Structure 1
Amino acid sequence: MADQAQDGGGEALDLASRLTIDHHQSLKLWLRMLSCTVRIENEIRSRLRETFDITLPRFDLMAQLERHPEGLRMGELSKRMMVTGGNITGITDLLEREKLVLRVPDPKDRRAFSVKLTDAGRAAFAEMAAVHERWIEELLCDVAVDDKARLIELLSQMKRHLDAG
């Protein structure tokens, strides 16, 4: 319990609460970041399902396509989303049945296809993205603006260090 008090944690159990004073600070940091990420992600998953009847992976795929109106090849989607090609195929199949995305032949390689948002997909994603942004704002509203800026800077430094590693 001393570790929870030191970390500012309450009685709620999470990955970081299992640590003791003897664990390395880096491990504590990693588990605290993971715990926060998992809590936010679980809440967003639940809200997406309840509000839009869509899964987080489907939302994420649409988000990738929204940023690339020219479309993305399946392999590129797999790389960007860090999931297998089979997962991308399954998600794309579902979205295509719902007329939210379409596969188009790649003009540079006739054996390959790019995936694009349809007009209906673009409209649906725009609505979901606006609501999603409000949810994130709500979930992080108790973090002061200066603290958010500092956290962004610190995590950016960490990412640069990991990318250089």
Structure 2
Amino acid sequence: MNEQELYKEKKQDPSLKLFVVMSKAQRTISDLVKDDIQRYELNPTEFGVLELLYHQGPQPLQKIGEKILLASGSITYVVDKLEKKKYLERVPCPNDRRITFASITDKGRELLHSIFPDHWKRIESILGGLTDEEKRQAINLLKKLGKYADAQQE
């Protein structure tokens, strides 16, 4: 098989095409969401931590990273920044001195309460190219693909 035939075969491969299309879509969507978050003088990681605490309550610092897909070394930096802005506070665990919780403050709760509705609308607008049924189908297909890919790591 010559180089041109190999290129044509690769170009028609649905796995490669799906990877490229998913990567481009994810990058564009992420950039648009990031731009929206930055309007509130937060970066996506700070927003993710606040959103987690807002919706799920106080969390052990050690668990935040795995819940929002952030390296554990970065958690301290992000928590320090949010604590300096008075959006969250560290709360020692009464039963285990090794554990410290991050808890959203009233100021952080008010911030998220005021910005989340507009942020949600922006996400709906960004993803408005699909119907609700197509979104559900995409969710199911991407979950299936993710689980399969995850099993490849074992």
Q: Which range, TM-score by smaller chain?
A: 0.7 to 0.9
Q: CA 1:108–1:120 in structure 2 vs 1: closer, same or farther (change >3 Å)?
A: same
Matched residue, 2:89: 102
Q: CA 1:125–1:21 in structure 2 vs 1: closer, same or farther (change >3 Å)?
A: farther
Q: Say whether 1:66 aligns with 2:50.
A: no
Deviation at residue 163 of structure 1 after TM alignment: 4.3
Deviation at residue 75 of structure 1 after TM alignment: 1.3
TM-score by length of 1: 0.78
Secondary structure at the aligned position of 1:102 is classed as strand
TM-score by length of 2: 0.83
Secondary structure at the aligned position of 1:22 is classed as helix
Matched residue, 1:39: 28
Deviation at residue 82 of structure 1 after TM alignment: 2.2
Deviation at residue 164 of structure 1 after TM alignment: 4.5
Structure 2 residue ranges without an equivalent (≥5)? 1-6
For 1:139 and 1:31, how far apart are their aligned partners in 2? 19
Higher RCO (C-alpha 8 Å, min separation 6)? 2
For 1:127 and 1:160, how far apart are their aligned partners in 2? 35
For 2:70 and 2:14, how far apart are their aligned partners in 1? 30
Structure 1 residue ranges without an equivalent (≥5)? 1-19
Q: CA 1:86–1:160 in structure 2 vs 1: closer, same or farther (change >3 Å)?
A: closer
Secondary structure at the aligned position of 1:153 is classed as helix
Aligned length: 144
Matched residue, 1:10: none
Q: 1:79 aligns with which of 47, 51, 66?
A: 66
